[in-house]
Chains A and B, each alone.
Chain A
């Protein structure tokens, strides 16, 4: 089973309560089932026969997870309960027990795995479907490229593997990854700039796990902006509340967003009561808004309840997913690209 690769997490998380306060879903559903402790204990129960994927509620709990990896980030030993949950989803799929909604979503993403390129050159910008849906974020990125005198080749299209991996469809995810890597090679891409943190994480971590080699260097847009050494004429018009990104902080450990905010001379205010929790409404789960829109709404309300002034505050986020989710609770968020572009 895939979960056997995460024996350390099974053994150590199943009786541990130390990250309970960071269980985003647990904090809006108030359940034990939505905590790393209980998920690990349920998965341990597979081997003793007390638990089984035949139980739909067990499987549902696995697919409800927000996958922020706050628990991994918090844990002094960084036991990878998120990796365990993903492996469990893969086991669910292999056992033929995936819920119908999950299977339908996987089929949709699998079918979407094709891309188009517009423009020339070996620097490309991957405009994923989520980011492409936000015209302000797109316009901001274009303004930044123009300011840097870079006319990147723009790549648009569907799933590059991340959503499929998160749903537990590993062969399909790997196939999408291989296809995208081949596409990039065929397009002669040497540098790929990525706006969506989930896509960045897929390209930098998942592809390596799949053994898929990329023909290019991958930069998150925040890294690219810093490297481009753009001249910013002004600082952001209003103070911002930066939210640490699930992927960029907890999975990838990159500090470019913080450095960018510093370079912009943004007046940053701490959001909420702490910097440990995720305020990203299930960003780490990528498709939580498709599987459980009601949970994303609840998570957004949770965030709104922690804002100093929910109607006026501006939250700085790395992902359009988060921006869109927070808007459901009436919160105003801007992407890093939008913030940077406003300073040109």
Chain B
């Protein structure tokens, strides 16, 4: 629904929104609407690059409290206006794009930090707080959320909750859904609800988990209580080079099966080791696959964990030891990969084929995607690394990159090429036991695969949506709903 700015209804709705959140917090001007029309998804970036305007919201609304969110939702519900929650806008799936106009609910004004509970080791905050700011606040109190993703500088905590984000220490501390104690949510009808205050209970299905990953389609998450951890006494890393990614994968899986409990692990395939790791670290890693892992906690225990991990890497798999320094390179530069100059950039066409699978399937998924991209799209380059490891499997951060001169100049043709890669690669991944995806979310980009993924469970998801949002105003067009 687009509302004509010179219409009577536009002014009526604007007046009501102004009444709900204050005049200064309803923006209908150019600059902010423009800013909310492009996120980190390649399609709007490409459109912008080619001079094609991206869909804009009619109103940018900045609520300052849960009650104000509730008021906005009641207005939207009455007029059946789309509402798109927006955190930092750094999502790569188009999940926060106002493709049908309406209201963008920019949550960043809701950035209150309520401090660490030193009895329970939890922290409570509003969800519009930028993750880096939350982490800085916790650090000042001697704690950490241990949620340290590359987008920490720009994404809000609400954004991570909305699409089940993850950070570099996920192997020990889990994804965001493992860190949540409870949520406060405003439903599409404007009701304020709270989930149970503990994440472990036997009091029926877990409503917290229902809203995590719902990508703003079921309501607006306004407040969260998260687990926090004291800063560890010691955090040590070590890296190895293996002759090929298969051997490195076996070594990494063995480390996970050993239950030694690393805090992080990352494996780059031969291509990415050569082209990216070498560039970011400023060293020559011409051959082989780079594997890095770390442990944190009490120093004596970390020393022991590292000793046993080295036995696996060196004794069983004969990795070439790059030492602690080789591991620290990664830790110190973990975000550098994502800065311009190191990250891909339009006019290149690129995407992250985020897939997760168990150890029995992950290599098959990698090869299925790599083979299909190489075969069907010879102009594209395929690289991959395995960035979040669990006891049972890991996440494949596979990427395809077309050089700028191989991307059609026409925006429609460029989008068609882009979508075709996803179609082929994602379906190859699903057919080989992969799940899309691990932490980027579905958004606009992957919505068309959700039915394939959920199969006969899809009506359950649709039923939940219908119950909570009968008018379909919450972030329409996303999550395949």
Contact = CB atoms under 8 A, between A and B. Distances in A.
Interface string A72-99: 0001110100000000000000000000
Contacts of A60: 31
B154 interface: yes
Interface of B: 27, 29-32, 34-36, 38, 40, 45, 48-53, 60, 62, 88-90, 106, 108-109, 111, 128, 130, 132-133, 136-137, 139-140, 151-155, 335-336, 338-343, 345-346
Nearest to B153: A21
Contacts of A164: none
A145 interface: no
A227 interface: no
A75 B51 contact: no
B40 to A, nearest CB: 7
A229 B298 CA distance: 47
A116 to B, nearest CB: 43
B47 to A, nearest CB: 9
29 contacts: A15-B38, A15-B40, A15-B45, A16-B339, A16-B343, A17-B88, A18-B335, A18-B338, A21-B152, A21-B154, A27-B130, A30-B108, A31-B32, A32-B35, A32-B36, A33-B34, A38-B35, A41-B38, A45-B34, A49-B51, A50-B51, A50-B52, A55-B30, A76-B336, A76-B339, A76-B342, A77-B341, A273-B133, A273-B137
Interface string A241-266: 00000000000000000000000000
B51 A48 contact: yes
Main secondary structure of the interface of B (DSSP, over half): mixed
Q: Which 5 A-B pairs have the closest CB atoms?
A: A48-B51, A32-B35, A17-B154, A12-B340, A33-B31
Interface string A20-64: 111000010011110101100110110011110001011011000
A309 interface: no
Nearest to B25: A30
A20 B88 contact: yes
Contact of B35 (A19, A35, A75, A274): A35
B130 A21 contact: yes
Contacts of B88: 17, 20
Given A21-B130, A58-B31, A273-B133, 8 more contacts: A15-B38, A18-B154, A30-B109, A31-B27, A42-B34, A58-B30, A76-B341, A273-B136
Contact of B31 (A49, A61, A76): A61
A44 B51 CA distance: 9
Contacts of A61: 31
A264 to B, nearest CB: 26
A50 B53 contact: yes
Contacts of A13: 340
A85 to B, nearest CB: 13
A330 to B, nearest CB: 21
Given A11-B345, A48-B51, A50-B48, A20 B31 contact: no
A48 B338 CA distance: 26
Contacts of A49: 51
Interface string A206-248: 0000000000000000000000000000000000000000000
A16 B154 CA distance: 9
Interface of A: 11-22, 27, 30-33, 35, 37-38, 41-42, 44-45, 48-51, 55, 57-58, 60-61, 75-77, 79, 273-274
B257 to A, nearest CB: 36
B90 A17 contact: yes
Contacts of B153: 17-22
Contacts of B34: 33, 38, 41-42, 45, 51, 58
Given A17-B40, A58-B30, A41 B48 contact: yes
A38 B35 CA distance: 5
Contacts of B30: 51, 55, 57-58
B341 A21 contact: no
Contacts of A12: 340-341, 345
Contact of A77 (B45, B140, B338, B340): B340
Nearest to A31: B32
Nearest to A74: B153
B139 A16 contact: no
B339 A57 contact: no
Nearest to B45: A15
A278 to B, nearest CB: 14
B341 to A, nearest CB: 4
A277 to B, nearest CB: 9
Contacts of B89: 17, 32
Contact of B345 (A15, A21, A38, A42): A15
B163 to A, nearest CB: 15
A37 B31 CA distance: 12
Contacts of B51: 45, 48-50
A16 B29 CA distance: 23
Contacts of A27: 130
Contacts of A15: 38, 40, 45, 340, 345-346
Contacts of B136: 273-274
A20 B130 contact: yes
A22 B40 CA distance: 18
A339 B40 CA distance: 46
A157 to B, nearest CB: 37
B410 to A, nearest CB: 15
B29 A57 contact: yes
Contacts of B139: 273
Contacts of B35: 31-33, 35, 37-38, 41
A102 to B, nearest CB: 16
Contacts of B62: 30-31
A48 B50 contact: yes
A32 B32 contact: yes
Contacts of A19: 153
Contact of A20 (B27, B90, B109, B111): B90
Contacts of A14: 48
Nearest to A55: B30
A58 B338 CA distance: 28
A44 B139 CA distance: 38
B373 to A, nearest CB: 23
B167 to A, nearest CB: 15
Nearest to A26: B108
A42 B31 contact: yes
A37 B32 CA distance: 12
B48 A45 contact: yes
A11 B323 CA distance: 37
Nearest to A47: B51
A273 B140 contact: yes
Contacts of A55: 30-31
Contacts of A75: 339
Contacts of A11: 340, 345
A58 B34 CA distance: 10
A52 B185 CA distance: 40
Contacts of B335: 18
B106 A30 contact: yes
